[in-house]
Amino acid sequence: MNDTMHREFVRKFAAAWASRDGEAFLALWHPEGLLHSPLFDRPIAGAEIGRLNDLQKQTAPDLVWQLLDWMAGDDVVVIEWQSTRIIAGARLDWRGVDRFRLRDGRIVEERVYMDTGPLRAARAGIPLEPILQL
């Protein structure tokens, strides 16, 4: 892949998040693709991405995803992002990084790296506490 192809992939990925369109996400995936994320109890097949998008819209209708930065080389694209939503009346922000391996411009593997602490604390209704007080 070249720089133009990398830029086009990132543009399409960000546009899919902006629209939260399951078909736009699905178009980015290779049929053999797998998504690995700490949010789910198992890897998600590329063919399931549209359904996953629908479930996320239903459970988190106010979720906002923002592209912060990206880098790429050969068949790998890395995207840094931030997500925001309102939980129990308070704004919650968290960041993560997705590492994509592409084949023919489509995702064959996505690995999501993120701190799940803020989401777990919000889910449990407890304040997020630092591990170490300085």
Domains of the chain: residue spans and CATH: 3-122 (3.10.450.50)
Q: Tell me, what's the pLDDT at 105? A: 92
Provide the pLDDT confidence category of residue 88 given band limits of 50, 70 and 90: confident
With contact defined as beta carbons under 8 Å apart, do 103 and 55 qualify?
no
Q: Are strands 106-114 and 29-36 parallel, antiparallel or unpaired?
A: parallel
Beta bridge partners of 100: 77, 110
Asked if residue 130 has pLDDT above 90, the reply is no
